[in-house]
Structure 1
């Protein structure tokens, strides 16, 4: 039976460091940017925040070269003309990326469904928000990984509420406080939480894991949540109801997550709160998921 392929989309600025050319665009405009990229199209771009993660995703295909487990898609607001430098750099770095959408300044999120993509990583928060609103997992990648303690295994960590799960319970916490939240989770312990924006992405990772020997699985996942007992029970029962395995679950009761993510060896961590991402970024690659009540814009006073 053919394996279900995991499809990850990434923007050109998340894959490569385009700060210099982006500064030209910001200061001098689109035409100057176009000229700059054409003039420098034979100069290799240096890795961006998502480069090492993409390398690890593509390395999963080495185990099944005739039936790839993962495909990386480039979704870029560049034009095809300026995109030539990006593909030259992809070739130089030996990345097997063959499919792309260049949209000339328009947000490329509309092509997620056509490519069958499970995740979009970008440095453009507006593109990420539009992708999430369209029903796909997406995150703004804030930094690159500073560790690689498990070079032969891809390690991905997730926050729970508003990322893997809906923000249903988080809303109670934000609006009514910790006591009301804890009581709700006790009462609803046997009722599975609704899925959040990253449920399908986690499911796709789990599908790859099921194709491999558990002792040598190339992917390891972790839930790293501020929840604590007794609010842990609903989470465990939810994952069980979904039929999804998560390898490690850390219920931290509000402790800072950074040291735990370092101990896990995360290649990337997804969280809906920017403060948690900034803390995590001191240790691992972090990506912000601007979803749920925490990220709703408050009206001006």
Structure 2
């Protein structure tokens, strides 16, 4: 009987986001496919070092240790390697003790095509083109940006902490379009008048909902293995529509920080985010001074 991952949180990740493949990638860029293939086969017994999303993946998989015989998280590897050159990646997964058993090796073709087939709620990659294509196909996706700060080997202690921007990430970019085209005063007026009209969902709504399903298994939030935060440039009176939207979705978010345009980085450090998702490159760069960040190239802020 076919295996169904429908009751799990499914995260797909590229091999370059999971492991440090920069030296291998240099060989590929400078010397070509055949040299890259020889290099990977010659080094396939040499474990790869952790990459940008390694600690995040470790904390995701650690949730399964709390759920007994019903693992709640599945991590899928998606890679542009061939199965031949990808053997080093699988050997590295085993070396680091990661319980990743499913993968797709696409031999140079874009691997994001398999995101929907695996039922993934999130795709993380170091390749912006694959991220954009995954978003266009309807999947939450982000280009991962490493934190420019030192982390302990095991990552921050405690639950997995995930922070989100609001407009164009959790929510549609309808309100942000008003701000971009008509200014702050019109944005505030529009959001005040629409306070009781829920915002449409953005690309990360389903991912947040999947996180929330796991959280609901822990009635006491203090014991939940996941903690979420909304970190937004909004302030009063634009806060009300956001709160009512999450209420309409029946989704709990643990912390909400309305910054009114203040820099987000320090607040993400205080929250202890394992990763923060934002559609605006400037906010991502600010966040990356403190925490790992994911750029979501979606919405009006990313239209040329």
Structure 2, unaligned stretches of length 5 or more? Answer: none
Q: What is aligned with 2:92?
A: 89
1:126 aligns to 2:129 (yes or no): yes
Give the structure 2 partner of residue 272 of structure 1: 279
Q: 1:146 to 1:197 in 2, by over 3 A?
A: farther
1:204 matched residue in structure 2: 210
- Maintained 8 Å contact 1:14/1:50: yes
Return closer, same or farther for 1:153/1:146 CA change in 2, 3 Å cut-off: farther
Partner in structure 2 of residue 223 of structure 1: 230
Task: Tell me which of 168, 173, 176 is aligned to 1:170.
Answer: 176
Question: Is 2:40 the partner of 1:56?
Answer: no
> What are the Cα deviations for residues 2-59 of structure 1, in whole angstroms up to 9, with x where unaligned?
9921000000000000000000111111111111111111111000000000000000
Instruction: Give the whole-Å Cα distance in 1 for the aligned partners of 2:29 and 2:108.
Output: 13
Aligned length in residues: 296
Alignment of 1:142-181 (within 5 A): 142-144=145-147, 146-147=150-151, 150-181=156-187
Tell me: CA distance 1:71–1:9, structure 2 relative to 1, closer, same or farther (3 Å): same
Question: How far apart, CA to CA, are the structure 2 residues paired with 1:104 and 1:177?
Answer: 47
210-219 or 226-235: bigger deviation: 210-219
**2:288 match:** 281
Distance 1:3 1:152, change over 3 A: farther
Q: Contact 1:166–1:195 at 8 Å: present in 2 too? A: yes
* Aligned Cα root-mean-square deviation (Å): 1.3
In the alignment, structure 1 residue 253 sits paired with structure 2 residue 260: yes
Aligned 1:25-40 pairs, distance under 5 A? 25-40=28-43
Q: Distance between the aligned counterparts of 2:45 and 2:156, measured in 1?
A: 34
Q: TM-score, normalised by structure 1?
A: 0.96
SS in 1 for 2:163: strand
| Structure 1: runs of 5+ lacking an equivalent | none
* d(CA) in 2 for partners of 1:76, 1:286: 21
Instruction: Tell me the SS of whatever aligns to 2:85.
Output: helix
Partner Cα separation in structure 1 for residue 284 and residue 151 of structure 2:
16
